[in-house]
């Protein structure tokens, strides 16, 4: 872990060193990273020798048992510098000369960045992400001409402090393509573009945003983001066995429907964490129609890789496989809900985060009644018919077994008859086991220690919302999972504040290409600092105030001037904001893998918009590429409905950075590699879409080549070609038939080639 942080933090600190010499080191960008790298192992959130915490500005200013470690007035006489200069701290490995120089220059410049006054240490952790929400009045920028809502007040004020401003608004053709892909993952149709461009209403843009928020494709787009964070897959993992999860699709469909319905996010999580308890379900009890969607939601807890059905090892190996399921679930909850890495704490207290080994196993204990290692329920046994009891009884009465089979040795299994009739639903429910788990010494499955009761992470515990889940009976919850769900979303709590920050930041990253915190999976001490901390808290607070409504938050973001600005590069702005982190422009973004595939199908007129149901199977071709066979029913459905097998990602999606969900994915790493261009030029899938696009435009624009050319560009790029683009395309159409001297359809093949060039272009692949 330390080596990983070295790779992340030290280069950033050293890159700032030369600038620090001229301007004086910056506390956040220069000093704090080196303290975190070299000092927090002994003086950090998990361990504070001498009661000294060097991971936070407030804690540094407060000092430890020996008083202030850094005193701005004393400069190089500060205790910390004396110990560092004498190579006494850190004791094992003194600071490198470059780090010493940064620290020395910062002290000489007055140790700016530390608060002048600090209060006594409060209850709970002091890291910004673990604090209650800090509501603040949106600032009033000097130039409010670009301001459309409170988001812009924060953005514009920050930009003005750097001599910048929000850029002008993009044109309508650009905006509708941006919004359509953002909210639905599909391109706008020519009719939608024309309607928006010609709409003279002052609120035409806002109305356009609302139309896409109301689209059923919104749930498919934004449901996929949650499914990635939740670790959804149609297979169990477990190395190359990676067996099938044929019933997981019901959870996928539940998520899509819940997102489309704008189910409040707190209720959305409650159902996934404890839907069985909310429904009042117990094994053997009658199932009502109202229970079925809540039981489907509990598949969230089954998303972790689970090879216990496939394990054929010895007792120790099988035990390890069971614990691996719990570990995966804790990891998913850690990154998706808390924005923290948890894996280190399986064996020892986290070295860089306030997450102790005890926290890890108490979080695991929440799941123990459902995933009891000592009395394991295998995946194949966690199913029930996907119908309510009354419907099943009617069906059984209408389909009795033939009398001759009543006493036959090969009498049909009643459960099998009901899979066949209704399908099955995969769910989670508690056993009678207590919500307690053993702390494994050094993470060793063969070395169980004390039994720990279920409890939530102590870093966001507080007297008004304690982490001890055994003392929360006032909620009316009768399971640790439901008590945990209520604890997590308790109004005005640290837990709800962290959840809201994590969620809002992840959504912001989907809209703008980067989060306010650049590490969406990690808002902890070792994560990135927020670029706009006050804005993040404002959005998190607004999210909760609007009843945890996702659509309300999306509407707020998309209606801002910051979102609507041009992506055109202004050299003066680039010098001060090279990566657009301050949002001096809308950063250029490439379509993600699913949007590329789905858009090609939509543009060619072949997209099958059937929603829900079992996955569309994929197969590995002779050349090793993973494809969807063209003759498979549903082959042209949206990518979210394709088989999500962990070890078999569709090649067209894989090359454009779709995740292989070993556990879960809260942020995709976007790459630019030659294989992407090769796939666009040589893929059979792309070639077929190009041919279909050529055929579509031929039918739409009969005997009118000029109109056909315009239509090709409009469908593929969302706009008409410039005069130069039209001339180049026409020259290509005139010359390309010569490449097919023996074909009577050479002219049509040339049109297909042109269409493929359009689909392989940056104008198609990128959102401006």
At 117, is the pLDDT very low, low, confident or very high (cuts 50, 70, 90)? confident
Torsion of CA 108, 113, 119, 122, to 10 degrees: -120
CA gap 190, 207 in Å, rounded: 17
Q: Report which of residues 80 and 628 the model is more confident about.
A: 628
Contact 51, 69 (CB under 8 A): no
Tokens encoding 679: 């796939």
| Residue 240 in this model has a pLDDT that exceeds 90 | no
Provide the percentage of residues in the chain whose pLDDT is more than 90: 70
Which residue has tokens 């330390």?
Answer: 2
Q: DSSP secondary structure string, 150-196?
A: HHHHHHHHHHHHTT--PPPBPPHHHHHHHHHHHHHSSPPPHHHHHHH
Instruction: Map tokens 């319905």 to a residue.
Output: 261
SS3 string of 331-397? HHHHHHHHCCCCHHHHCCCCCCCCCCHHHHHHHHHHHCCCCCHHHCCCHHHCEEECCCHHHHHHHHH
- Asked whether 768 and 567 are in contact (CB, 8 A), the reply is yes
Residue-wise pLDDT tens digits, 495-529: 999 999 999 999 999 999 999 999 999 999 888 88
For 375, phi then psi, to 5°, come to -140, 65
Spans of all domains in the chain: 2-114, 228-402+413-454, 682-767
Lowest mean pLDDT among 3-17, 330-344, 528-542: 3-17
CB-based contacts of 655, cutoff 8 Å, min separation 6: 593, 673, 675, 676, 679
| CA pair distance 140, 143, nearest whole angstrom | 9
For 239, the token pair is 């190395």
Instruction: Report, as an integer, the average pLDDT of 386-414.
Output: 81
Mean pLDDT of 19-25: 55
pLDDT category at 478 given cuts 50, 70, 90 is: low
Q: What is the pLDDT of residue 261?
A: 98
Highest mean pLDDT among 10-19, 277-286, 506-515 belongs to: 506-515
The model carries a pTM of 0.90
State the pLDDT at residue 648.
94
Q: How far apart (Å, rounded) are the C-alpha atoms in residues 327 and 583? A: 38
- β-partners of residue 451 are 438
Instruction: State yes or no: pLDDT of 7 exceeds 50.
Output: no
Statement: residue 20 has pLDDT above 60: no
Answer for the pair 277, 477: CB distance below 8 angstroms, yes or no. yes
* Mean of the per-residue pLDDT values of the chain: 90
CA of residue 415 relative to chain centroid, distance = 37
Instruction: Return the pLDDT at 108.
Output: 87
> Which residues have CB under 8 Å from 371's CB, separation 6+?
301, 322, 325, 326, 329, 377
Highest mean pLDDT among 232-241, 309-318, 747-756: 747-756
Contact 354, 45 (CB under 8 A): yes
Which structure tokens are listed for 710?
């315009």
Q: DSSP character for 346?
A: G
Dist CA 558 CA 536 (whole Å)? 16
CB 556 within 8 A of CB 549: no
Higher pLDDT, 20 or 294: 294
Which pLDDT belongs to residue 396?
87
Q: Which residues is 235 bridged to in the sheet?
A: 244
Q: Does 17 have pLDDT greater than 60? A: no
Contact criterion met (CB below 8 Å) for 252 and 616: no
Write down the pLDDT at residue 576. 93
Average of per-residue pLDDT across 187-215: 97
Q: Find the DSSP H helices in 261-314.
A: 265-279, 291-297
pLDDT band, residue 420 (cuts 50/70/90): confident
Question: CA nearest 502: which of 468, 469, 465, 527?
Answer: 527
| Contact present, 467 and 461 (Cβ < 8 Å) | yes
Specify burial of residue 172 (Cβ count, 10 A radius: 0-12, 13-18, 19+). Answer: middle
Per-residue pLDDT tens for 551-576? Answer: 999 999 999 999 999 999 999 899 99
pLDDT-above-70 percentage for the chain? 95
The SS3 of residue 424 is: strand
φ and ψ at residue 672, rounded to 5 degrees: -130, 105
Helix (H) or strand (E) holding 705: helix 705-717
Q: Which tokens sit at 78?
A: 């500060």
Q: What is the pLDDT of residue 22?
A: 45
Contact 248, 299 (CB under 8 A): yes
Is residue 58 very low, low, confident or very high in pLDDT (cuts 50, 70, 90)? confident
**Secondary element (H or E) of residue 439:** strand 436-440
CA distances from 2 to 29, 48, 147, 275, 339 (A): 19, 17, 43, 39, 19
Given this model, what pLDDT does residue 124 score? 61
Report the b/e string of 78-89 with b at 16+ CB within 10 A.
bbbbeebeeeeb
Quote the CA–CA distance of 337 and 322 in Å, as a whole number.
23
Could you give phi then psi for residue 338, rounded to 5 degrees?
-105, -10
Dist. CA 603–CA 276, nearest whole Å: 42
DSSP 75: G
Who wins on pLDDT, 83 or 303? 303
pLDDT of res. 604: 98
Of 131, 125, 82, residue with least CA distance to 103: 82
Residue 246: the pLDDT is: 94
Among the ranges given (7-21, 70-84, 186-200, 313-327), the one the predictor scored with the smallest mean pLDDT: 7-21
Query: Which residues make Cβ contacts (< 8 Å) with residue 361, sequence separation at least 6?
Result: 437, 438, 439, 440, 452
For residue range 449-477, what is the model confidence (pLDDT) as tens digits?
999 999 999 999 988 898 888 765 444 45
- Are 129 and 495 a contacting pair, CB within 8 Å? no
Among 267, 277, 260, 166, smallest CA distance to 220 is for: 260
Residue pLDDT, tens place only, 255-278: 999 999 999 999 999 999 999 999
Query: Which residues make beta-bridge pairs with 179?
Result: none
Strand partners, 86: none
The maximal CA–CA distance of the chain, rounded, in angstroms, is 97
Q: Which residues pair with 465 in a beta bridge?
A: 462
Q: Which of 49-63, 432-446, 595-609, 682-696 has the lowest mean pLDDT?
A: 49-63
| Model pLDDT, residue 649 | 96
Give me the count of residues in the chain: 768
The answer to whether the beta carbons of residues 527 and 519 sit under 8 Å apart is: yes
Would the pLDDT of 481 be above 60? yes
Least confident of 10-24, 351-365, 432-446: 10-24
Q: Which pLDDT belongs to residue 470?
A: 79
* CA–CA dist 391, 388 (Å, integer): 6
426-452: b (≥16 Cβ within 10 Å) or e:
bbbbbeeeebbbbbbeebebeeeeeeb
Query: What mean pLDDT is predicted for residues 356-362?
Result: 94
Q: Distance between CA atoms of 584 and 760, rounded to whole angstroms?
A: 29
Which residue's entry shows tokens 């666009």? 680
Q: Are strands 436-440 and 424-426 parallel, antiparallel or unpaired?
A: unpaired
Mean pLDDT of the 364-384 span:
92
Q: How high is the pLDDT of residue 123?
A: 59
Q: How far apart are the first and last CA of the chain?
A: 38
- Please say if the pLDDT value at position 52 is more than 90: no
Does residue 165 have a pLDDT over 80? yes
Number of other CB atoms surrounding residue 318 within 10 Å: 15
Number of CB atoms found within 10 A of residue 50's CB: 12
With 60 as the cut, is the pLDDT of residue 19 above it? no
pLDDT of residue 542: 97
């Amino acid at each position: 872990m330390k080596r990983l942080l070295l790779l992340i933090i030290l280069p950033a600190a050293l890159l700032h060193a030369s600038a620090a010499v001229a301007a004086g080191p910056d506390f956040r960008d220069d000093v704090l990273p080196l303290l975190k790298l070299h000092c927090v192992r002994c003086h950090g959130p998990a361990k504070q020798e001498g009661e000294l915490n060097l991971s936070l500005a407030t804690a540094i200013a407060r000092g430890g048992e020996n008083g202030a470690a850094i005193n701005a007035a004393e400069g190089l006489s500060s205790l910390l510098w004396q110990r560092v200069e004498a190579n006494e701290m850190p004791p094992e490995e003194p600071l490198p000369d470059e780090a010493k120089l940064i620290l020395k220059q910062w002290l000489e410049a007055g140790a700016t960045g530390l608060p002048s006054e600090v209060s006594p240490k409060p209850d709970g952790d002091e890291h910004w992400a673990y604090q209650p929400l800090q509501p603040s009045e949106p600032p009033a920028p000097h130039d409010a001409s670009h301001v459309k809502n409170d988001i812009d007040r924060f953005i514009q004020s920050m930009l003005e402090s750097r001599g910048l401003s929000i850029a002008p608004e993009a044109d309508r053709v650009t905006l509708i393509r941006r919004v359509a892909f953002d909210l639905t993952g599909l391109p706008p149709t020519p009719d939608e573009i024309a309607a928006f461009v010609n709409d003279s209403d002052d609120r035409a843009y806002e109305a356009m945003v609302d139309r896409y928020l109301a689209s059923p494709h919104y749930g498919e787009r934004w449901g996929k983001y949650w499914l990635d964070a939740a670790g959804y897959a149609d297979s169990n993992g477990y190395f190359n066995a990676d067996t099938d999860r044929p019933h997981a699709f019901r959870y996928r469909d539940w998520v899509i429907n819940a997102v489309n319905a704008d189910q409040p996010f707190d209720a959305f999580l409650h159902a996934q964490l404890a839907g069985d308890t909310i429904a009042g379900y117990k094994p053997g009890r009658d199932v009502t129609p109202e229970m079925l969607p809540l039981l489907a939601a509990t598949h969230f807890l089954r998303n972790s890789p689970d090879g216990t059905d496939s394990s054929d090892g010895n007792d120790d190996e099988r035990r390890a496989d069971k614990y691996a399921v719990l570990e995966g679930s804790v990891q998913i909850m850690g990154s998706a809900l808390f924005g923290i890495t948890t894996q280190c704490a399986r064996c020892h207290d986290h070295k860089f985060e306030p997450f102790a080994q005890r926290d890890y196993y108490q979080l695991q204990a929440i799941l123990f009644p459902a995933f009891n290692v000592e009395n394991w329920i295998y995946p194949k046994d966690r199913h029930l018919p996907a119908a309510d009891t009354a419907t099943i009884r009617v069906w059984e009465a209408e389909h009795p077994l033939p009398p001759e089979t009543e006493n036959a040795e090969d009498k049909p299994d009643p459960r099998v008859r009901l899979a066949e009739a209704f399908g099955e639903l995969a769910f989670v429910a508690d056993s009678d086991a207590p919500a307690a788990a053993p702390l494994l010494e050094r993470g060793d499955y063969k070395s169980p220690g004390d039994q720990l009761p279920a409890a939530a992470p102590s870093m966001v515990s507080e007297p008004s919302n304690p982490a001890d889940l055994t003392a929360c009976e006032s909620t009316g919850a009768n399971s640790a999972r439901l008590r945990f769900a209520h604890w997590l979303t308790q109004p005005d709590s640290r837990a709800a504040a962290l959840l809201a920050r994590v969620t809002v930041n992840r959504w912001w990253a989907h809209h703008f290409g980067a989060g306010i915190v650049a590490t969406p999976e990690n808002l902890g001490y070792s994560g990135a600092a927020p670029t706009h901390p006050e804005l993040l808290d404002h959005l998190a607070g607004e999210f909760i105030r609007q009843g945890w409504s996702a659509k309300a938050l999306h509407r707020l973001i998309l209606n801002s001037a910051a979102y609507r600005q041009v992506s055109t590069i202004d050299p003066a702005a680039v010098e001060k904001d090279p990566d657009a982190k301050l949002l001096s422009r809308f950063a250029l973004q490439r379509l993600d893998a699913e949007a590329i595939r789905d858009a090609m199908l939509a543009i060619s007129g072949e997209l099958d918009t059937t929603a829900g149901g079992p996955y569309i199977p994929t197969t590995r071709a002779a050349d090793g590429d993973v494809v969807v066979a063209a003759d498979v029913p549903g082959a042209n459905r949206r990518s979210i409905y394709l088989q999500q097998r962990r070890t078999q990602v569709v090649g067209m999606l894989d090359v454009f950075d779709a995740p292989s969900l070993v556990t879960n994915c809260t942020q995709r790493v976007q790459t630019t590699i030659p294989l992407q261009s090769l796939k666009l030029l040589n893929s059979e899938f792309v070639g077929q879409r190009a041919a279909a696009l050529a055929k579509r435009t031929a039918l739409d624009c009969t005997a009118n080549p000029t109109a056909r050319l315009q239509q090709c560009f409009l469908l593929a790029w969302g706009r008409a070609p410039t005069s130069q683009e039209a001339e180049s395309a026409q020259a290509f159409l005139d010359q390309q038939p010569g490449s097919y001297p023996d074909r009577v359809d050479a002219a049509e093949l040339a049109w297909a080639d042109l269409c493929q060039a359009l689909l392989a272009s940056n104008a198609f692949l990128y959102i401006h």
